[in-house]
Structure 1
C-alpha cells in the first residue's frame, strides 16, 4: 500500500523543520489519525547506548502513534554537524535514496507519514543528488517551513520556485516565529500569503518545551 503524508523542507538549516513536523504530527493525532515521523538523513549525531542517534529523529520517533525502530525513522545519521554530503563522505557511508524509499514503503501502515528533510531544499546528499531528489523519489507533497526573520522572503520565494520547477507538489507553507522580536513578522506573512496565493498552513510560536498544538489548515481524511 502506498504511504501518504508530507515531506517537510525549510528555507535554511535551523529554521524549525522539526518543530513544525512535531506540531503537525500532534495536530493530526488530535484528529484521531495514525501518524508516523521519519528523518531519513541527519547530521550532528550523539553516541547513545552503543550507536549514533539524532535528537530530532528521536523526537519524531517519540511523537509517533506507534512504536517504530529507530533505524526506520533515521536510517542515515552522521556525527559531525555539517552538510550531509560532507559527513557521508567522511564516514564512507553515502546516502542511498533507493534504500530510503524502501524503508519508507516498509513502514507500518499509517494515515500519514511526515518525512523531515535535512537542511534546505537544495542541500547536497552526495556529488549528484540533493534533498529535492529525495522528496521527489518519495513522491510526497512538500510543505515549506519559513523561519520569520530578515531575509526570509528571498529564501522562501527562491525555495518555492525551485520546488515547483522540479515538479514537486507544493502543499503549502508554514510561518515559524524563530525570532520573537522580529517586528516585521506580520508584514512578511502578508507578503508571502500574496506571493504564494495562500495563507500559511499554520503560524508557529517561538520554540518552547513541547510542540505547539495550533490550528493547521491541512486537509486530511479522518480514520476509516
Structure 2
C-alpha cells in the first residue's frame, strides 16, 4: 500500500503545488514510483473538452505512472473561487466519499508514494457542512504544512499546526517557501518558525521567480518521511 501524505498550506497562494512537485521529484529520485492527487480544484480551463486545472496538470505530468487526468483531479470547476461556491454554481456537490474512491483507485496502482495536494488552507469548505480537513481526518493522512513566508506567517503557521493536531493528525513535516522576495527580516522570521514549529523540517525554498524548474527538489529533504 502506497505511503500517502496530504499537503496543506498556511493560506492560498503559498506554493503548495511547487512543494508537492518538489516532494514528488525527490521521491522519484530516491527510486520510488509516485502519484499526485488534487481532489478539488477551482480555476480550471476547458482543454480537449475537459475542465483541467494547471496545478493538477503539473501533478499529472510529474507522476511516475501515466493515468487519465480525472484520476488526478476528480472535482474541477471553472471559476477561480472557493470550491464549495463553484460546486454549488455548477450543481455538482462535492462528496468526500467520491474523493476517497479516487484515492482508493490510485492506491491500487504500483505507486509507492502518493502526494495529495489540498486547496486553500486547512479549513477549506467543500459544502455547507464539511471541510476538506474532515476527509483528511477520515483517511488518517499524515500532513505536510507549506508555510508561505510573508508578513503574518508565524501566526498562520502556528494556528494551522494547532488545528491539524487538534484534529488528531500527525504533522509529518513542514516546508518554508519564500513567496515574498521583499519580505522584511526574512531570516529572522525563518529562525522564529524553526524554533517554534515542533515537527520535522523538510526544507526551505528560496524565492525562485521565473527560475522554477525540476531542480526545485534539491531544496527538499524527504528523509524524515521515510519509514
TM over 0.5: yes
Match of 1:151 in 2: 152
Q: Which residue of 1 aligns with 2:124?
A: 123
Partner Cα distance (1:206, 1:38) in 2: 25
Matched ranges for 1:1-224 at <5 A? 2-107=1-106, 108-198=109-199, 200-207=201-208, 208-211=211-214, 212-219=216-223, 220-221=225-226
Q: 1:213 is paired with a residue of what secondary structure?
A: helix
Classify the secondary structure of the residue corresponding to 1:67: coil
CA contact (8 A) 2:172 2:199 kept: no
- Label 1:97 to 1:150 Cα distance change in 2 as closer, same or farther (>3 A): same
Q: Which moved more, 1:120-129 or 1:132-141?
A: 132-141
Contact 1:97 1:137 in 2 (8 A): no
Structure 1 residues 146-189: Cα deviation after superposition (integer angstroms, max 9, x where no partner): 00000111111110100000111111111001112223222222
Shift of 1:69: 1.1
- What is the TM-score normalised by the length of structure 2? 0.92
The offset of 1:199, in angstroms, is 5.8
Distance 2:37 2:196 in 1: 30
User: Cα distance 1:198–1:135, how it changes in 2: closer, same or farther (>3 A)?
Assistant: closer
Alpha-carbon distance in structure 1 between the residues aligned to 2:217 and 2:163: 30
Please state which structure has a larger fraction of its residues in helix: 2
What is the RMSD of the two structures over their aligned residues, measured on CA atoms?
1.5
- The 3-state SS of whatever aligns with 1:120 is coil
Alpha carbons 1:204, 1:214 under 8 Å: kept: no
Q: Which runs of 5+ in 1 are unaligned?
A: none
Tell me the CA shift for residue 218 of structure 1: 2.5
Segment drifting more, 131-140 vs 42-51: 131-140
| Count of residue correspondences | 221
The alpha-carbon deviation at position 38 of structure 1 amounts to 0.6
Once the two structures are TM-superposed, the CA of residue 215 in structure 1 deviates from its matched residue by 4.2
Extract structure 1 runs of 4+ deviating beyond 6 A. none
Unaligned runs of 5+ in 2: none
- Using structure 1 for the length normalisation, give the TM-score: 0.93
Give 1:216 deviation, angstroms: 2.8
C-alpha distance in 2 between matches for 1:198 and 1:156:
12
1:162 aligned counterpart, secondary structure: helix
